[in-house]
Amino acid sequence: MQKIKYKITIPILRQSFLAYGLLIISIISKKHEAISERFDIYNHQFEIFPGNFDQKLINYCQRKKITVTAYSPLNKGRMIKNPNIKKIAEAASVNPAQLILAWLLGKGIIVIPKAESYEHLLENFQADKVKLSREIIKALDDFGSTF
């Protein structure tokens, strides 16, 4: 098997043609399995945020030693405006962005949030210091089904 290493900005070879960017796979497991057997995949990037969390795919990636990156972990800013997320964040004594980022980081997921200001960027960096209770983690895990 040919080893292919890539980053977001480096072209990767997929099948017999050149594709640019990071290999983004949000397809059924059989196709994912076929691709991962043919190529060495190091990272899988897809949208992950409370209510849009594919635990089965994340588990698969982690079993295969494929890092997972949460693209748009704040759902383009919508999650930080969500009243239920705000309530959970208040209970955790953090802001909504820190809450979501800490939740994802605690699951071993890489996060790449957009920050609209230097202040937001600094706040986002504080997420790795946030410790969430089991109750708060459960509330975020169940977010789509409970809210």
Residue count of the chain, please give it: 147
Tell me how many degrees the CA angle 90-54-73 measures, rounded to the nearest 5. 45
Percent of the chain residues past pLDDT 90, beyond the cut: 56
Q: How confident is the model at residue 36 (pLDDT cuts 50, 70, 90)?
A: low
Domains of the chain, first to last: 12-146 (3.20.20.100)
pLDDT score for 11: 35
pLDDT score for 31: 54
DSSP letter assigned to residue 127:
G
Q: pLDDT per residue over 46-59, tens digit each?
A: 999 999 999 999 99
User: Of 115 and 8, which is predicted with more confidence?
Assistant: 115
pLDDT score for 131: 97
User: Of 146 and 13, which is predicted with more confidence?
Assistant: 146
Q: pLDDT per residue over 106-125, tens digit each?
A: 999 999 998 889 999 999 99
Contacts 24+ apart (CB under 8 A), 96-101: 97/123, 97/124, 97/127, 98/123, 98/124, 98/126, 98/127, 98/130, 99/130, 99/132, 99/136, 99/140, 100/49, 100/50, 100/73, 100/74, 100/140, 101/73, 101/127, 101/128, 101/130
Overall average pLDDT of the 120-139 stretch? 95
The pTM score is 0.74
